Amino acid sequence: MVGAPQAPWSARRKPHGRRTPRAPAMSAFQMADVDLASRHRWPELVVRVFEDGRVMEDVQRLTEEAAKLAAAPLWPLADDEITDLLRTAHRLEQAAAALQARLVQQAGTRGLPATQGHRKMAAWLRSTLRIDPHPARELTEHAAALTHHPTLEQAVLDGFIDLRQAAVISTTVAALPAEISGLDEVSLVDAAQIARQAETTMIDMAGRLPAYQLRRIGERILVHVAPELADRADEATSARQEARAHQRRGVTLSLPVDGLVRVSGFLGAEDVATVEAALHPLCAPTPGDDRTAAQRRADALIDVCRLALRTGQLPEDGGEPPQLAVTVAYDPLTRNLGSAITDTGRRLSRDTARRLACDARVLPIVLGGDGQILDAGRTRRLATGALRRALHIRDRGCAFPDCDRPPRWTDAHHIVGWTAGGPTNLDNMVLLCRRHHRLVHHPTAGWQIRLGADRHPDFIPPPTVDPTRTPRRNLYHRRQ
């Protein structure tokens, strides 16, 4: 019965000896119409399937039946039937994924990627299946996990573990002999035996633990299978892990999708501690801050990068200081900005272009109708040098009411936009941190800025914040 406790994998394994021929694909082909009592006949059935050349026919039939089931009405089902069906559908998904992994194995053995002009399996999968880079890499890893690991493969096909768990176990078992063979009293034969025991133990544990917890178990698997070696091997393992982490470190930026770029990667424990130390002071929640923890971390990362750009200590890039370069269409007659495009080809909105224009150099370039450059001007305004220092002295940081960001974390904002004819001088500029710079530029936020009689900026809140719209100032910096 689905959901009933399962016996440990080690108790279900057949005695060592010649393995009974099996057809892993049959667990997917016949899932819909072979009852549990007839599962022992799968090897013979699969042999007949392959001899009759019905593999593609059965896969297509199963695909059609699965599509019909996916569209079937579910409202008549009872609650326990929904749960059982969900488990069964997950089992079917894993069986199909195992078939995919075995097909990838076979494609690699035959050298299909190379014969079709691809250097790597993942690139071939992206082209053949039209899938994104991440699932292509994951499918490649799943295929590698099953290679030379028949026990893992059988456990996947029997539904005892999924492919993510199999990948974790495969990685742990593959690394184990090298980690313990250096110990004096451990021979290669003993190391191989311990690795097999670790594989069986982790498969048993997979019945209760998902892949991410299984990975943590794998880091200290010797405690479970060879406790007398665990402490000494752990020290050597830690050093190797640090070396591997340094070798595998990397950060990847995805292509934009719906205006978002996925940032992913790997860092060693020491590197992560450095990143956390830099981000943590900027991630603390404050009263009235409705950002999520993830959003605060993202904003903190950008703030750290902007600070690094302002220090002037980064190496030159293309003969110029590191900078964010944005191309913006501008109509001198209407003084309107168009959409913006970064030098990496990413498109930004008109409002973002206006905000960036507050604290940036503007290089006017006249383009012809088909985009050719007809005339290039020079920088017109730059809120740096003496003007920037004067802003630091006057505002002492972000001037928005009660913000505590220091001057180095701020942009120089034009009170009257430069595109609207506003000058670049002390009386028309104010320091704003990135968060409040966004707020001031938001078309519906309603905040206004004006210069007071003492030539310090006043912030006029919208009626939703203060119905009287009483001007406010930053009290935090004033008391410093």
Could you report the per-residue pLDDT of 372-394, keeping only the tens digit for each? 333 434 344 555 566 777 787 78
Mean pLDDT of 395-416: 85
Residue 268: count of CB within 10 angstroms of its CB: 17
For residue range 165-176, what is the model confidence (pLDDT) as tens digits? 998 998 888 888
What pLDDT, on the 0 to 100 scale, is given for residue 51?
47
Residue 136 has pLDDT above 80, yes or no: yes
Lowest-confidence segment of 23-32, 386-395, 408-417, 465-474 by average pLDDT: 23-32
**Any idea which of 31-45, 441-455, 458-472 has the lowest mean pLDDT?**
31-45
pLDDT at site 57: 82
Strands (E), 323-426: 326-331, 336-342, 347-348, 365-367, 373-376, 410-414
Backbone angles phi, psi at 366, to 5 degrees: -90, 125
Q: What is the pLDDT of residue 169?
A: 92
* Per-residue confidence band for 458, with pLDDT thresholds at 50, 70 and 90: very high
pLDDT in tens, 207-236: 888 888 898 888 888 888 888 877 777 777
Residue 338: CA count within 13 A, CB half-sphere: 9
- The most confident of 30-39, 120-129, 389-398, by mean pLDDT: 120-129
Cβ neighbours, 10 Å, residue 64: 10
* Other residues' Cβ atoms within 10 Å of the Cβ of residue 140: 19
Per-residue pLDDT, 2 = 39
Strands (E), 42-111: none
Mean pLDDT for the stretch of residues 441-459: 89
Which pLDDT belongs to residue 449?
A: 94
> How far is Cα 143 from Cα 99, in angstroms, rounded to an integer?
10
Rounded to 5 degrees, φ, ψ at 390 are -65, -40
Q: What percent of the chain has pLDDT over 90?
A: 9
Cα 326 → chain centroid: 26
pLDDT of residue 246: 85
Report the distance separating Cα 85 and Cα 78, nearest Å. 10
Strand, coil or helix: 367: strand
CB distance 254 to 228 below 8 Å: no
pLDDT at 325 over 70: no
Question: Measured between alpha carbons, how far is residue 290 from residues 285, 294, 295, 400, 474 in Å?
Answer: 9, 12, 10, 17, 20
* Cα dihedral 459, 463, 465, 467 sign: positive
The residues near 443 (Cβ < 8 Å, ≥ 6 apart) are: 351
* Burial bucket for residue 388 (CB in 10 Å: 0-12, 13-18, 19+): middle
Mean pLDDT of 177-201: 77
The backbone torsions φ and ψ at residue 413, rounded to the nearest 5 degrees and listed phi first, read -95, 135
pLDDT category at 324 given cuts 50, 70, 90 is low
| For residue 5, pLDDT beyond 60 | no
User: What distance in Å separates the CA atoms of residue 460 and residue 207, rounded to the nearest whole number?
Assistant: 61
Residue 142 to residue 125: CA distance in whole angstroms: 13
Report residue 5 as tokens: 């406790």
Tell me, what's the pLDDT at 330?
65
As a whole number of angstroms, the distance between CA 12 and CA 321 comes to: 65
Q: Pairing between strand 457-460 and 429-433?
A: unpaired
| Residues 24-43, mean pLDDT to the nearest whole number | 37
Distance of CA 305 to the CA centre of its chain: 19
Please report which confidence band the pLDDT of residue 195 belongs to, taking 50, 70 and 90 as the band edges.
confident
With the C-alpha atoms ordered 261, 266, 269, 271, is the resulting torsion angle positive or negative?
negative
Q: Which residues contact 370 (CB under 8 A, 6 or more apart)?
A: none
* Mean pLDDT for the stretch of residues 341-363: 65
